[in-house]
Amino acid sequence: MKDKFFSRGRAVIPIRGIHFDLKGLPPAPSRLLEFLDLLCQARINCVLVEWEDTYPWQKYPELRNQTAYSMSTVKKFLKKAECLGIEVIPLVQSFGHLENVLSKKRFKKFREIPDNVSDICPLADGARQIVMDMVEDVLLTHTGIRYFHLGGDEVWTLGSCEKCKSFIEKNGKSALYLYHLEPIFEFLHARNIRPIIWDDMMRKWNISELKRIAKHTDLMCWSYAKDPFIYVSKQTMDKFLKAGCKIWAASAFKGGDGPYVDIPDKNVRLANMLEWVKYAGKMKMEGVIATGWSRYNTFCSPCESIETSLDTLALSGKIAWDGKLPVDPSEWAKDFLEYSQKKGIRTSHFHNCRAVSEQLQNWRDSVFAQARTYLQQAHLAGEPDRINPFRAKEEKNALIEAFRKVKQYARDWEKVHKGFVPAIWIKKYTLSRIEPVKKIVNLILKNTLF
Protein backbone atom coordinates (compact mmCIF):
# COMPACT_ATOMS: atom_id res chain seq x y z
CA MET A 1 0.00 0.00 0.00
CA LYS A 2 1.64 3.22 -1.15
CA ASP A 3 0.37 6.76 -1.33
CA LYS A 4 1.87 10.19 -1.00
CA PHE A 5 0.69 10.64 2.58
CA PHE A 6 2.89 7.98 4.16
CA SER A 7 6.61 7.50 3.74
CA ARG A 8 7.41 4.12 5.26
CA GLY A 9 6.71 0.77 3.67
CA ARG A 10 5.84 -0.80 7.03
CA ALA A 11 4.23 0.72 10.10
CA VAL A 12 6.28 1.58 13.18
CA ILE A 13 3.38 0.58 15.44
CA PRO A 14 1.57 -2.67 14.61
CA ILE A 15 -1.77 -1.85 16.26
CA ARG A 16 -2.72 1.76 15.55
CA GLY A 17 -6.01 2.65 17.14
CA ILE A 18 -8.52 5.44 17.57
CA HIS A 19 -10.88 5.54 20.52
CA PHE A 20 -14.49 6.57 19.98
CA ASP A 21 -16.02 7.71 23.24
CA LEU A 22 -19.67 7.75 22.24
CA LYS A 23 -21.17 9.06 25.47
CA GLY A 24 -20.91 12.64 24.20
CA LEU A 25 -21.84 13.99 20.75
CA PRO A 26 -22.33 10.49 19.29
CA PRO A 27 -21.99 10.58 15.51
CA ALA A 28 -25.18 10.02 13.50
CA PRO A 29 -25.34 6.36 12.36
CA SER A 30 -24.27 7.15 8.79
CA ARG A 31 -21.36 9.25 10.07
CA LEU A 32 -20.26 6.51 12.46
CA LEU A 33 -19.93 4.15 9.49
CA GLU A 34 -18.24 6.82 7.36
CA PHE A 35 -15.59 7.37 10.03
CA LEU A 36 -14.33 3.86 9.38
CA ASP A 37 -13.41 4.91 5.83
CA LEU A 38 -11.51 7.88 7.23
CA LEU A 39 -9.66 5.66 9.72
CA CYS A 40 -8.75 3.25 6.95
CA GLN A 41 -7.48 6.14 4.83
CA ALA A 42 -5.31 7.25 7.77
CA ARG A 43 -3.97 3.67 8.07
CA ILE A 44 -5.57 3.14 11.44
CA ASN A 45 -6.25 -0.55 11.93
CA CYS A 46 -8.02 -0.62 15.28
CA VAL A 47 -10.94 1.15 16.89
CA LEU A 48 -11.61 1.12 20.62
CA VAL A 49 -15.32 1.71 20.99
CA GLU A 50 -16.82 2.94 24.23
CA TRP A 51 -20.50 2.55 23.39
CA GLU A 52 -21.80 3.41 26.84
CA ASP A 53 -25.35 4.78 26.56
CA THR A 54 -25.40 4.53 22.76
CA TYR A 55 -25.37 0.72 22.76
CA PRO A 56 -28.69 -1.08 22.15
CA TRP A 57 -28.50 -2.79 25.57
CA GLN A 58 -30.72 -5.86 25.62
CA LYS A 59 -30.81 -6.95 29.24
CA TYR A 60 -30.85 -3.45 30.72
CA PRO A 61 -32.61 -1.21 28.15
CA GLU A 62 -32.62 1.67 30.65
CA LEU A 63 -28.89 2.07 29.94
CA ARG A 64 -29.67 3.32 26.40
CA ASN A 65 -29.92 7.03 25.67
CA GLN A 66 -32.66 8.54 23.50
CA THR A 67 -30.63 8.15 20.28
CA ALA A 68 -28.92 4.83 21.03
CA TYR A 69 -27.81 2.99 17.91
CA SER A 70 -29.96 0.16 16.63
CA MET A 71 -28.73 -3.41 16.66
CA SER A 72 -28.54 -3.21 12.89
CA THR A 73 -26.27 -0.10 12.98
CA VAL A 74 -23.90 -1.78 15.45
CA LYS A 75 -23.75 -4.88 13.26
CA LYS A 76 -23.18 -2.82 10.10
CA PHE A 77 -20.38 -0.94 11.88
CA LEU A 78 -18.71 -4.19 12.95
CA LYS A 79 -19.10 -5.78 9.51
CA LYS A 80 -17.69 -2.73 7.76
CA ALA A 81 -14.74 -2.54 10.18
CA GLU A 82 -13.99 -6.19 9.46
CA CYS A 83 -14.13 -5.63 5.69
CA LEU A 84 -11.72 -2.69 6.03
CA GLY A 85 -9.31 -4.67 8.21
CA ILE A 86 -10.01 -2.53 11.28
CA GLU A 87 -9.98 -4.50 14.53
CA VAL A 88 -12.72 -3.51 16.97
CA ILE A 89 -12.06 -3.54 20.71
CA PRO A 90 -15.20 -2.82 22.73
CA LEU A 91 -14.93 -1.04 26.08
CA VAL A 92 -17.32 -1.70 28.94
CA GLN A 93 -16.69 -0.07 32.30
CA SER A 94 -16.32 -2.59 35.08
CA PHE A 95 -15.37 -0.73 38.28
CA GLY A 96 -15.09 3.08 38.24
CA HIS A 97 -16.87 5.40 35.79
CA LEU A 98 -20.02 3.35 36.02
CA GLU A 99 -22.07 6.54 36.19
CA ASN A 100 -24.47 5.48 33.46
CA VAL A 101 -25.31 2.37 35.46
CA LEU A 102 -25.10 3.51 39.08
CA SER A 103 -27.14 6.67 38.53
CA LYS A 104 -30.17 4.50 37.70
CA LYS A 105 -32.48 3.80 40.63
CA ARG A 106 -32.36 0.06 40.05
CA PHE A 107 -28.58 -0.07 40.52
CA LYS A 108 -28.19 2.51 43.29
CA LYS A 109 -27.66 -0.17 45.93
CA PHE A 110 -24.42 -1.25 44.24
CA ARG A 111 -22.58 2.03 44.86
CA GLU A 112 -19.45 1.96 46.99
CA ILE A 113 -20.51 5.25 48.60
CA PRO A 114 -24.25 6.06 48.60
CA ASP A 115 -23.98 9.48 46.96
CA ASN A 116 -21.18 8.67 44.51
CA VAL A 117 -22.46 7.41 41.18
CA SER A 118 -19.02 6.48 39.82
CA ASP A 119 -17.72 3.41 41.65
CA ILE A 120 -19.30 0.01 42.19
CA CYS A 121 -18.84 -1.87 45.47
CA PRO A 122 -17.00 -5.07 44.57
CA LEU A 123 -18.48 -6.85 47.58
CA ALA A 124 -22.12 -5.92 47.03
CA ASP A 125 -24.20 -8.96 46.14
CA GLY A 126 -24.85 -9.01 42.42
CA ALA A 127 -22.49 -6.12 41.58
CA ARG A 128 -20.11 -8.18 39.47
CA GLN A 129 -23.02 -9.84 37.73
CA ILE A 130 -24.19 -6.51 36.28
CA VAL A 131 -20.80 -6.02 34.68
CA MET A 132 -20.82 -9.61 33.40
CA ASP A 133 -24.29 -9.06 31.93
CA MET A 134 -23.09 -5.95 30.10
CA VAL A 135 -20.00 -7.73 28.79
CA GLU A 136 -22.19 -10.60 27.60
CA ASP A 137 -24.58 -8.14 25.97
CA VAL A 138 -21.74 -6.55 23.99
CA LEU A 139 -20.42 -9.98 23.02
CA LEU A 140 -23.76 -10.71 21.36
CA THR A 141 -22.74 -8.38 18.55
CA HIS A 142 -18.93 -8.34 18.82
CA THR A 143 -18.19 -11.86 17.68
CA GLY A 144 -14.68 -13.06 16.89
CA ILE A 145 -12.89 -10.29 18.78
CA ARG A 146 -9.38 -10.69 20.21
CA TYR A 147 -9.47 -8.00 22.90
CA PHE A 148 -12.02 -6.57 25.33
CA HIS A 149 -11.32 -3.38 27.30
CA LEU A 150 -12.80 -3.36 30.80
CA GLY A 151 -11.91 0.20 31.83
CA GLY A 152 -11.09 -0.24 35.51
CA ASP A 153 -9.57 3.23 35.92
CA GLU A 154 -10.02 5.96 38.51
CA VAL A 155 -11.81 3.87 41.14
CA TRP A 156 -11.21 6.71 43.58
CA THR A 157 -13.43 5.41 46.37
CA LEU A 158 -12.26 1.78 46.25
CA GLY A 159 -12.37 0.30 49.76
CA SER A 160 -14.60 2.95 51.36
CA CYS A 161 -17.58 0.93 52.60
CA GLU A 162 -17.32 -1.05 55.84
CA LYS A 163 -17.26 -4.44 54.12
CA CYS A 164 -14.52 -3.36 51.69
CA LYS A 165 -12.51 -1.71 54.47
CA SER A 166 -12.30 -4.92 56.47
CA PHE A 167 -11.52 -6.94 53.30
CA ILE A 168 -8.57 -4.60 52.66
CA GLU A 169 -7.36 -4.87 56.25
CA LYS A 170 -7.16 -8.64 55.85
CA ASN A 171 -6.05 -8.99 52.23
CA GLY A 172 -4.82 -5.64 50.88
CA LYS A 173 -6.22 -3.22 48.31
CA SER A 174 -4.90 -4.96 45.22
CA ALA A 175 -6.60 -8.17 46.34
CA LEU A 176 -9.94 -6.35 46.51
CA TYR A 177 -9.42 -4.93 43.02
CA LEU A 178 -8.60 -8.39 41.69
CA TYR A 179 -11.42 -10.05 43.63
CA HIS A 180 -13.88 -8.05 41.56
CA LEU A 181 -12.19 -8.40 38.19
CA GLU A 182 -10.66 -11.90 38.16
CA PRO A 183 -13.92 -13.74 37.40
CA ILE A 184 -14.62 -11.30 34.55
CA PHE A 185 -11.11 -11.87 33.20
CA GLU A 186 -11.73 -15.63 33.40
CA PHE A 187 -15.06 -15.23 31.63
CA LEU A 188 -13.28 -13.53 28.72
CA HIS A 189 -10.35 -15.98 28.70
CA ALA A 190 -12.81 -18.85 28.35
CA ARG A 191 -13.90 -17.19 25.10
CA ASN A 192 -10.34 -16.67 23.87
CA ILE A 193 -10.53 -12.94 24.45
CA ARG A 194 -7.68 -11.04 26.08
CA PRO A 195 -8.85 -8.35 28.53
CA ILE A 196 -7.27 -4.89 28.66
CA ILE A 197 -7.62 -2.38 31.50
CA TRP A 198 -6.32 1.16 32.08
CA ASP A 199 -3.09 1.16 34.07
CA ASP A 200 -3.62 3.93 36.64
CA MET A 201 -4.90 1.79 39.53
CA MET A 202 -1.78 -0.40 39.26
CA ARG A 203 0.87 2.34 39.11
CA LYS A 204 1.75 1.92 42.77
CA TRP A 205 1.46 -1.85 42.95
CA ASN A 206 4.57 -3.87 43.79
CA ILE A 207 6.05 -6.52 41.51
CA SER A 208 4.33 -9.49 43.12
CA GLU A 209 0.92 -7.80 42.92
CA LEU A 210 1.60 -6.92 39.28
CA LYS A 211 2.66 -10.49 38.50
CA ARG A 212 -0.76 -11.62 39.67
CA ILE A 213 -2.58 -9.31 37.27
CA ALA A 214 -0.13 -9.79 34.36
CA LYS A 215 -1.43 -13.24 33.57
CA HIS A 216 -5.00 -11.99 33.35
CA THR A 217 -4.94 -8.76 31.42
CA ASP A 218 -2.95 -6.28 29.34
CA LEU A 219 -2.48 -2.78 30.75
CA MET A 220 -3.16 0.35 28.70
CA CYS A 221 -0.92 3.16 29.98
CA TRP A 222 -2.63 6.49 29.47
CA SER A 223 -1.29 10.00 29.58
CA TYR A 224 -2.32 12.94 27.44
CA ALA A 225 0.29 15.55 28.34
CA LYS A 226 2.88 17.00 25.97
CA ASP A 227 5.40 14.90 27.87
CA PRO A 228 3.30 11.83 28.69
CA PHE A 229 5.91 10.46 31.08
CA ILE A 230 5.16 13.13 33.67
CA TYR A 231 2.07 11.17 34.64
CA VAL A 232 3.07 7.61 33.89
CA SER A 233 6.80 7.36 34.40
CA LYS A 234 9.11 5.17 32.37
CA GLN A 235 10.12 3.51 35.66
CA THR A 236 6.51 2.56 36.28
CA MET A 237 6.23 1.05 32.82
CA ASP A 238 9.54 -0.79 33.34
CA LYS A 239 8.03 -2.21 36.51
CA PHE A 240 4.96 -3.37 34.55
CA LEU A 241 7.19 -5.04 31.97
CA LYS A 242 9.41 -6.63 34.61
CA ALA A 243 6.30 -8.18 36.18
CA GLY A 244 5.42 -9.69 32.81
CA CYS A 245 2.60 -7.28 31.91
CA LYS A 246 1.87 -6.63 28.26
CA ILE A 247 1.42 -2.91 27.84
CA TRP A 248 -0.29 -0.56 25.40
CA ALA A 249 -0.08 3.21 25.13
CA ALA A 250 -2.96 5.66 25.06
CA SER A 251 -2.43 9.15 23.71
CA ALA A 252 -5.26 11.57 22.88
CA PHE A 253 -6.24 13.09 19.53
CA LYS A 254 -8.94 15.07 21.34
CA GLY A 255 -10.48 15.35 24.79
CA GLY A 256 -7.12 15.74 26.48
CA ASP A 257 -7.07 19.50 26.97
CA GLY A 258 -9.75 20.08 29.57
CA PRO A 259 -13.33 18.97 30.13
CA TYR A 260 -15.00 22.07 28.68
CA VAL A 261 -12.86 23.09 25.72
CA ASP A 262 -14.19 23.47 22.17
CA ILE A 263 -10.99 22.69 20.25
CA PRO A 264 -8.05 20.37 20.82
CA ASP A 265 -4.68 21.95 21.52
CA LYS A 266 -3.09 20.72 18.31
CA ASN A 267 0.54 21.16 19.36
CA VAL A 268 0.03 19.26 22.59
CA ARG A 269 -1.95 16.50 20.85
CA LEU A 270 0.77 15.95 18.23
CA ALA A 271 3.64 16.07 20.74
CA ASN A 272 1.80 13.64 22.99
CA MET A 273 1.20 11.18 20.15
CA LEU A 274 4.76 11.46 18.88
CA GLU A 275 6.29 10.83 22.31
CA TRP A 276 4.12 7.77 22.82
CA VAL A 277 4.87 6.38 19.38
CA LYS A 278 8.64 6.80 19.83
CA TYR A 279 8.52 5.06 23.19
CA ALA A 280 6.04 2.35 22.13
CA GLY A 281 8.17 1.48 19.10
CA LYS A 282 11.28 1.17 21.23
CA MET A 283 9.56 -0.87 23.95
CA LYS A 284 7.70 -3.07 21.46
CA MET A 285 4.37 -2.23 23.06
CA GLU A 286 1.25 -4.01 21.79
CA GLY A 287 -0.22 -0.91 20.23
CA VAL A 288 -1.00 2.79 20.55
CA ILE A 289 -4.56 4.04 20.83
CA ALA A 290 -5.28 7.73 20.35
CA THR A 291 -8.18 8.38 22.69
CA GLY A 292 -10.96 10.78 21.80
CA TRP A 293 -12.73 11.64 25.04
CA SER A 294 -16.10 13.23 24.53
CA ARG A 295 -16.97 13.76 28.21
CA TYR A 296 -14.58 13.48 31.14
CA ASN A 297 -17.32 11.46 32.78
CA THR A 298 -21.01 10.89 32.16
CA PHE A 299 -21.96 13.97 34.19
CA CYS A 300 -19.54 16.41 32.58
CA SER A 301 -20.63 18.60 29.68
CA PRO A 302 -19.29 17.37 26.35
CA CYS A 303 -15.85 18.49 25.23
CA GLU A 304 -14.76 19.26 21.66
CA SER A 305 -16.36 17.33 18.80
CA ILE A 306 -14.72 14.77 16.54
CA GLU A 307 -15.65 16.95 13.55
CA THR A 308 -13.51 19.71 15.06
CA SER A 309 -10.60 17.30 15.52
CA LEU A 310 -10.29 15.57 12.13
CA ASP A 311 -6.75 16.85 11.59
CA THR A 312 -5.38 15.48 14.88
CA LEU A 313 -7.26 12.24 14.24
CA ALA A 314 -5.67 11.78 10.81
CA LEU A 315 -2.25 12.89 12.05
CA SER A 316 -2.41 10.27 14.80
CA GLY A 317 -2.60 7.64 12.08
CA LYS A 318 0.28 9.28 10.21
CA ILE A 319 2.52 9.40 13.30
CA ALA A 320 1.73 5.81 14.30
CA TRP A 321 2.59 4.61 10.79
CA ASP A 322 5.68 6.68 10.02
CA GLY A 323 6.97 7.23 13.55
CA LYS A 324 7.37 10.93 12.90
CA LEU A 325 5.50 14.11 12.12
CA PRO A 326 5.18 15.33 8.55
CA VAL A 327 7.32 18.39 7.71
CA ASP A 328 4.28 20.65 7.84
CA PRO A 329 1.51 18.93 9.85
CA SER A 330 -1.14 21.55 8.99
CA GLU A 331 -0.43 21.28 5.27
CA TRP A 332 -0.37 17.47 5.47
CA ALA A 333 -3.73 17.41 7.25
CA LYS A 334 -5.24 19.86 4.77
CA ASP A 335 -4.13 17.75 1.78
CA PHE A 336 -5.16 14.53 3.46
CA LEU A 337 -8.64 15.80 4.29
CA GLU A 338 -9.11 17.22 0.78
CA TYR A 339 -8.07 13.88 -0.69
CA SER A 340 -10.52 12.08 1.61
CA GLN A 341 -13.32 14.42 0.54
CA LYS A 342 -12.57 13.54 -3.09
CA LYS A 343 -12.90 9.89 -2.12
CA GLY A 344 -16.38 10.60 -0.78
CA ILE A 345 -15.58 10.91 2.93
CA ARG A 346 -17.05 14.17 4.22
CA THR A 347 -14.27 16.37 5.54
CA SER A 348 -14.76 19.70 3.76
CA HIS A 349 -16.64 21.14 6.75
CA PHE A 350 -13.65 20.61 9.03
CA HIS A 351 -11.99 24.02 8.66
CA ASN A 352 -15.29 25.75 9.33
CA CYS A 353 -15.88 23.53 12.35
CA ARG A 354 -12.47 24.36 13.76
CA ALA A 355 -12.81 28.11 13.09
CA VAL A 356 -16.27 28.38 14.62
CA SER A 357 -15.31 26.25 17.64
CA GLU A 358 -12.25 28.41 18.20
CA GLN A 359 -14.36 31.56 18.17
CA LEU A 360 -16.87 29.96 20.52
CA GLN A 361 -14.14 29.06 22.97
CA ASN A 362 -12.48 32.49 22.75
CA TRP A 363 -15.71 34.40 23.34
CA ARG A 364 -16.70 32.16 26.26
CA ASP A 365 -13.31 32.87 27.79
CA SER A 366 -13.90 36.56 27.10
CA VAL A 367 -17.16 36.58 29.07
CA PHE A 368 -15.41 35.08 32.11
CA ALA A 369 -12.50 37.51 31.77
CA GLN A 370 -14.78 40.51 31.17
CA ALA A 371 -16.95 39.62 34.18
CA ARG A 372 -13.83 39.61 36.34
CA THR A 373 -12.65 42.95 34.95
CA TYR A 374 -16.06 44.50 35.55
CA LEU A 375 -16.42 43.20 39.11
CA GLN A 376 -12.95 44.32 40.07
CA GLN A 377 -13.65 47.97 39.43
CA ALA A 378 -13.11 49.99 42.61
CA HIS A 379 -16.76 50.94 43.16
CA LEU A 380 -17.76 47.27 43.17
CA ALA A 381 -14.68 46.13 45.05
CA GLY A 382 -15.15 47.90 48.38
CA GLU A 383 -14.63 51.60 47.49
CA PRO A 384 -18.10 52.84 46.41
CA ASP A 385 -16.95 56.47 46.06
CA ARG A 386 -14.38 55.69 43.42
CA ILE A 387 -16.69 55.39 40.46
CA ASN A 388 -16.53 56.49 36.89
CA PRO A 389 -19.98 55.67 35.45
CA PHE A 390 -18.67 56.06 31.91
CA ARG A 391 -16.01 53.32 32.39
CA ALA A 392 -18.41 51.07 34.31
CA LYS A 393 -20.95 51.22 31.49
CA GLU A 394 -18.23 50.57 28.95
CA GLU A 395 -17.08 47.44 30.79
CA LYS A 396 -20.64 46.23 31.12
CA ASN A 397 -21.29 46.75 27.41
CA ALA A 398 -18.16 44.79 26.58
CA LEU A 399 -19.53 41.96 28.71
CA ILE A 400 -22.89 42.07 26.93
CA GLU A 401 -21.14 42.10 23.56
CA ALA A 402 -18.97 39.08 24.46
CA PHE A 403 -22.12 37.20 25.48
CA ARG A 404 -23.80 38.13 22.18
CA LYS A 405 -20.79 36.65 20.36
CA VAL A 406 -21.05 33.42 22.35
CA LYS A 407 -24.67 33.05 21.24
CA GLN A 408 -23.77 33.89 17.65
CA TYR A 409 -20.95 31.33 17.45
CA ALA A 410 -23.06 28.74 19.27
CA ARG A 411 -25.62 29.08 16.45
CA ASP A 412 -22.82 28.74 13.88
CA TRP A 413 -21.54 25.69 15.73
CA GLU A 414 -24.99 24.12 15.38
CA LYS A 415 -25.00 24.84 11.64
CA VAL A 416 -21.58 23.33 10.91
CA HIS A 417 -22.39 20.16 12.87
CA LYS A 418 -25.83 19.63 11.38
CA GLY A 419 -26.23 16.12 10.01
CA PHE A 420 -23.06 14.80 11.62
CA VAL A 421 -24.50 14.44 15.12
CA PRO A 422 -28.18 13.95 16.10
CA ALA A 423 -29.88 17.33 16.59
CA ILE A 424 -30.64 16.70 20.27
CA TRP A 425 -26.93 16.39 21.12
CA ILE A 426 -25.99 19.44 19.06
CA LYS A 427 -28.49 21.48 21.06
CA LYS A 428 -27.23 20.11 24.39
CA TYR A 429 -23.67 21.01 23.43
CA THR A 430 -24.45 24.63 22.65
CA LEU A 431 -26.63 24.91 25.75
CA SER A 432 -23.67 23.70 27.81
CA ARG A 433 -21.65 26.58 26.33
CA ILE A 434 -24.30 29.28 26.66
CA GLU A 435 -25.84 28.55 30.08
CA PRO A 436 -22.79 29.06 32.34
CA VAL A 437 -21.92 32.43 30.78
CA LYS A 438 -25.58 33.46 30.69
CA LYS A 439 -25.79 32.87 34.45
CA ILE A 440 -22.81 35.13 35.09
CA VAL A 441 -24.05 37.88 32.78
CA ASN A 442 -27.55 37.81 34.29
CA LEU A 443 -26.21 37.94 37.84
CA ILE A 444 -24.14 41.00 37.00
CA LEU A 445 -26.90 42.75 35.11
CA LYS A 446 -29.36 42.21 37.97
CA ASN A 447 -27.09 43.11 40.85
CA THR A 448 -24.84 45.99 39.88
CA LEU A 449 -25.41 49.69 39.63
CA PHE A 450 -24.01 50.38 36.18
Interface residues toward Zn ion, by CB under 5 A: 112, 121, 123, 161, 164
- C-beta closer to Zn ion: residue 177 or 222: 177
Residues 251/272, Cβ–Cβ less than 8 Å = yes
Nearest approach in angstroms of CB 173 to Zn ion is 12
- C-beta closer to Zn ion: residue 22 or 121: 121
107-132: b or e for each residue (b if 16 or more CB lie within 10 Å)? beebbbeeeebbbbbbbbeebbebbe
CA angle 52, 22, 85 (to 5 degrees): 105
Nearest approach in angstroms of CB 183 to Zn ion is 16
Nearest approach in angstroms of CB 150 to Zn ion is 18
How far is it between the farthest Cα atoms of the chain?
A: 77
Number of other CB atoms surrounding residue 346 within 10 Å: 19
Nearest approach in angstroms of CB 128 to Zn ion is 12
SS3 409: helix
- C-beta closer to Zn ion: residue 176 or 214: 176
Helices (H), 87-229: 99-102, 127-141, 162-171, 173-189, 207-214
Nearest approach in angstroms of CB 210 to Zn ion is 23
CA angle 168, 173, 174 (to 5 degrees): 135
- How far is 345 from 80, CA to CA, in rounded Å? 15
Nearest approach in angstroms of CB 102 to Zn ion is 13
Contacts for 411 with CB less than 8 Å, ≥ 6 apart? 430
- C-beta closer to Zn ion: residue 164 or 406: 164
- C-beta closer to Zn ion: residue 173 or 246: 173
Is 66 exposed, middle or buried (CB count within 10 Å of its CB: 0-12, 13-18, 19+)? exposed
- C-beta closer to Zn ion: residue 128 or 149: 128
- C-beta closer to Zn ion: residue 116 or 301: 116
- How far is 150 from 23, CA to CA, in rounded Å? 16
Nearest approach in angstroms of CB 66 to Zn ion is 32
